[in-house]
């Protein structure tokens, strides 16, 4: 049995999930200086959270229990997707990460100046969104990094087509 990865031609390393991961296979230990900002999708489930997306106190804030290097998030773009009472998905807001903080229970709170998307931009039926939703187990995996250019361009297009909501910047 070969020690080479047939897709990349690189030697497989035991104990490493991917190049740059620490010995436990967790995270990327390389600094991101000079890298393009990443894109993240966060699903806001109004049933679980107990309040609808876009509530003034929660605007431009997402929480996660994932262990992420907070300094690596600065400048990244977060897209917040939510669901209506009728079960339809929509793009609620997006923001560039300006800071991070720790919540009362130790969760990571990611903060930025939100740009609310109004009128609502429905996601149901869009091929790229349906594919993403399937890949992400019905959006149940929490905050997820997005590298697929079709998804990123789809989100950007929806945001650009929206008019700024009162009290927000766009």
User: In whole angstroms, what is the distance from residue 46 CA to residue 107 CA?
Assistant: 18
| E strand spans, 4-47 | 39-44
* Residue indicated by tokens 């250019």: 149
> What is the tens place of the pLDDT at every residue in 47-70?
777 777 776 677 899 999 998 888
Domain assignments of the chain as residue spans, ordered by start: 39-164
Residue percentage of the chain with pLDDT more than 70: 73
DSSP assignment of 65-123 equals -S---HHHHTT-EEEEEEE-TTS-EEEEEEEEEEEEEE-TTS-EEEEE--EEEEEEEE-
> What is the tens place of the pLDDT at every residue in 116-153?
998 889 999 999 999 999 999 888 888 999 999 999 99
Show Cβ contacts of residue 83 under 8 Å, excluding neighbours closer than 6 positions: 45, 46, 89, 90
User: In whole angstroms, what is the distance from residue 56 CA to residue 72 CA?
Assistant: 26
- On average, the pLDDT of the chain sits at 78
- CA–centroid distance for 102 within its chain: 18
CATH topology of domain 39-164: ph1033 like fold (3.10.590)
Tell if the pTM clears 0.85, that is, is over it: no
**3-class state of residue 39 by DSSP:** strand
Confidence at residue 85, expressed as pLDDT on a 0 to 100 scale = 83
């Amino acid at each position: 049995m070969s020690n080479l990865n047939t897709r990349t031609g690189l030697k497989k390393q035991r104990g490493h999930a991917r190049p740059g991961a620490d010995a436990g296979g967790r995270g990327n230990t390389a600094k991101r200086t000079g890298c393009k900002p990443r894109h993240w999708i966060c699903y806001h489930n109004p049933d679980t959270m107990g309040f609808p997306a876009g509530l003034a106190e929660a605007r431009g804030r997402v929480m996660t229990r994932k262990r992420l290097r907070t300094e690596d998030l600065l400048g990244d773009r977060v897209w917040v997707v939510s669901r209506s009472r009728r079960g339809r998905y929509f793009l609620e807001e997006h923001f560039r990460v300006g800071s991070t903080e720790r919540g009362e229970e130790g969760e990571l709170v990611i903060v930025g100046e939100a740009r609310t998307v109004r009128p609502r931009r429905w996601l149901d039926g869009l091929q790229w969104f349906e594919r993403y939703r399937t890949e992400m187990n019905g959006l149940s995996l929490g905050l997820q990094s997005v590298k697929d250019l079709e998804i990123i361009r789809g989100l950007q297009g929806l945001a650009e087509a929206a008019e700024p909501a009162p009290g927000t910047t766009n």
